[in-house]
């Protein structure tokens, strides 16, 4: 109840924290994965307890322990599901970045480059990748983007449009790999299945496509300087 005094609320939290621990332990013992610690379960349960204290109405004719028990357990399950989904998304993101970095790693053809040139080449390739990801957002929401006329935003929109034009000039599988990976967020494994080639082949196509985008981007830049 909202009118409950802070001191009384604190007393209830202290008294029923044991109930939270019991329910958290029960849920934790039935977990299907080890990605979360017991402390996470307990914290979710405490959120449920606080909500129970604020919302409990004795007039409904139900004991507080019963009312709170359902809300605590529900808060734990909802919290675990939500956090697990976030962690899955983070794991997928890390895997995609690792695939991307590995595909841009140096091979025997790059051995003649100096260490600085090698690092610069890798950094530029990764930077193009990040801009490509941003391109899908900028180009999809052009109406809102046009309302923001700050210099940085204008420059970014122009860069995204140039890169999008460059992608359109890519041939065959290069264009498919770039579109699927950056605009549709598909992993190399998914793309390999769609193209019926190996994951290693997709990585090779990705690297050659990024190199071609660097060349095309440089050409567009040169044309702008001459204009």
pLDDT (tens digit, 9 = 90+) per residue, 68-107?
A: 999 999 999 988 888 777 776 666 667 777 777 777 765 5
CA atoms within 13 A on the CB side of 125: 24
Per residue in 103-149, pLDDT (tens digit) is: 776 554 555 445 555 555 556 666 676 666 655 544 444 444 454 55
Contacts of 187 by beta carbon, 8 Å cutoff, 6+ apart = 92, 95, 96, 99, 181
135 with 163: CB under 8 angstroms?
A: yes
Half-sphere exposure of 17 (CA within 13 A, CB side): 8
- Greatest CA separation found in the chain? 81
Name the phi and psi angles at 226, rounded to 5.
-80, -20
Domains in the chain: ranges and CATH: 6-92 (1.10.1740.10), 110-226 (1.10.10.10)
Token reading at 196 = 């019926």
Read off the pTM. 0.48
């Amino acid at each position: 109840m909202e009118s409950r005094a802070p001191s009384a609320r604190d007393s209830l939290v202290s008294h029923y924290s044991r109930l939270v621990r019991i329910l958290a332990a029960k849920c934790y013992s039935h977990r299907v994965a080890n990605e979360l610690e017991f402390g996470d379960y307990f914290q979710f349960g405490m959120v449920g307890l606080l909500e129970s204290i604020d919302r409990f109405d004795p007039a409904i004719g139900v004991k507080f322990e019963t009312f709170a028990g359902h809300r605590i357990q529900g808060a734990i399950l909802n919290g675990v599901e939500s956090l697990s989904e976030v962690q899955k998304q983070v794991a997928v993101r890390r895997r995609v970045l690792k695939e991307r970095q590995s595909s841009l790693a140096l091979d025997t053809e790059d051995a003649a480059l100096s260490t600085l040139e090698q690092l610069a080449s890798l950094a530029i390739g990764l930077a193009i990748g990040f801009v490509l990801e941003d391109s899908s957002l900028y180009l999809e929401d052009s109406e809102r983007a046009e309302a923001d006329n700050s210099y940085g935003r204008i420059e970014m929109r122009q860069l995204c449009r140039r890169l999008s034009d460059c992608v359109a000039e890519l041939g065959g599988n290069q264009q498919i790999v770039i579109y699927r990976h950056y605009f549709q967020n598909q992993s190399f494994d998914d793309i390999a299945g769609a193209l019926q080639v190996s994951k290693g082949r997709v990585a090779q196509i990705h690297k050659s496509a990024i190199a071609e985008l660097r060349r095309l981007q440089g050409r567009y830049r040169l044309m702008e300087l001459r204009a």
